[in-house]
Amino acid sequence: MLPALAVLAASCDNRPAITADYDVVPLPASIVLAENAPGFTMNKNTCIVASDADQQKNAELLAGYIADLTGLNLKVVDKAPGSNFISLENTLGVENPDAYALAVNSDNICINGATPAGTFYGIQTLRKSVPEAGENNVVFPAGEIVDQPRFGYRGAHLDVARHFFGPDSVKIFIDMLALHNINRFHWHLTEDQGWRLEIKSHPLLTEVGSKRSGTVLGANTQEYDSIPYGGFYTQDEVRDIVKYAADRHITVIPEIDMPGHMQAALAAYPSMGCTGGPYEVWRRWGVTDEVLCAGNDSVYKLVDDVLAEVCDLFPSEYIHIGGDECPKVRWEKCTKCQAKIRQLGLKSDKGGTKEQKLQSYFMKHAQDFLAEHGRKTIGWDEILEGGVNPGAVVMSWRGEEGGIAAAKMGHDAIMTPSKYMYFDFVQNEDRDKEPLGASWGKPLTVEKVYSYEPIPETFTPEEAAHIIGVQANTWAEYIPTFSHVQYMTLPRMAALSEVQWSSAPKDYEGFLTRLPQLVEQYKNQGYNYAKHVLPAETAEQPAQDK
Ligand code: ACM
Ligand code: ZN
Taking residues 480-494, report their average pLDDT.
98
In the predicted structure, residue 542 carries a pLDDT above the cut 70: no
Indicate the top mutation candidate among 324, 394, 415, 423 to test ligand 1's pocket, ranked by most ligand atoms within 8 A of CB. Answer: 324
Q: In this prediction, what percent of the chain has a pLDDT beyond 70?
A: 97
Instruction: Find, among 450, 459, 393, 379, the residue nearest to 420 by Cα.
Output: 450
pLDDT digits (tens, 9 = 90+) for 71-97: 999 999 999 999 999 999 999 999 999
2 compared with 126, residue with greater pLDDT: 126
Q: What is the 3-state secondary structure (H, E, C) of 231-281?
A: CCECHHHHHHHHHHHHHCCCEEEEEEEECCCCHHHHHHCHHHECCCCCCCC
Taking residues 10-31, report their average pLDDT.
90
Report CA(293)–ligand 1 centroid distance (Å): 21
Residue 541's pLDDT band, with cuts at 50, 70 and 90, is low
Look at residue 318 and give its three-state secondary structure. Answer: strand
CA dihedral 280, 282, 286, 291 (to 10 degrees): 40
**Confidence at residue 389, expressed as pLDDT on a 0 to 100 scale:** 87
Report CA(92)–ligand 1 centroid distance (Å): 39
Whether pTM exceeds 0.95: yes
**Nearest ligand to the CA atom of 331:** 2
Q: What is the 3-state secondary structure (H, E, C) of 26-40?
A: CCCCEEEECCCCCCE
Residue 11's pLDDT band, with cuts at 50, 70 and 90, is very low
CA dihedral 261, 263, 269, 272 (to 10 degrees): 60
**Confidence at residue 540, expressed as pLDDT on a 0 to 100 scale:** 62
pLDDT digits (tens, 9 = 90+) for 320-353: 999 999 999 999 999 999 999 999 999 999 999 9
In the predicted structure, residue 312 carries a pLDDT above the cut 60: yes
In the predicted structure, residue 543 carries a pLDDT above the cut 70: no
Atom of ligand 1 nearest to the CA of 261: 3
In the predicted structure, residue 545 carries a pLDDT above the cut 70: no
Please give the Cα distance from 149 to 167 (Å, whole number).
29
Please give the Cα distance from 142 to 153 (Å, whole number).
32
Q: What is the mean pLDDT of the chain?
A: 96
Taking residues 91-117, report their average pLDDT.
98
Q: What is the 3-state secondary structure (H, E, C) of 419-454?
A: HHHECCECCCCCHHHCCCCECCCCCCCHHHHHHCCC
Please give the Cα distance from 178 to 123 (Å, whole number).
10
Report CA(357)–ligand 2 centroid distance (Å): 14
In the predicted structure, residue 5 carries a pLDDT above the cut 60: no
Indicate the top mutation candidate among 383, 475, 478 to test ligand 1's pocket, ranked by most ligand atoms within 8 A of CB. Answer: 475
pLDDT digits (tens, 9 = 90+) for 396-434: 999 999 999 999 999 999 999 999 999 999 999 999 999
Name all residues whose Cβ lies below 6 A of ligand 1.
324-325, 380, 397
**Confidence at residue 538, expressed as pLDDT on a 0 to 100 scale:** 84
**Confidence at residue 7, expressed as pLDDT on a 0 to 100 scale:** 42
Look at residue 174 and give its three-state secondary structure. Answer: helix
Atom of ligand 1 nearest to the CA of 380: 4
**Confidence at residue 10, expressed as pLDDT on a 0 to 100 scale:** 45
Among the residue ranges 34-38, 49-53, 324-328, 539-543, the one predicted with the least confidence is 539-543
Please give the Cα distance from 541 to 531 (Å, whole number).
10
- Name which residue sits closest to atom 3 of ligand 1, judged by CA: 324
Q: In this prediction, what percent of the chain has a pLDDT beyond 90?
A: 94
Among the residue ranges 23-32, 155-164, 225-234, 430-439, the one predicted with the least confidence is 430-439
Taking residues 102-110, report their average pLDDT.
98
Residue 278: is the preceding peptide bond cis (ω within 30°)? yes
Report CA(330)–ligand 2 centroid distance (Å): 6
Taking residues 178-196, report their average pLDDT.
99
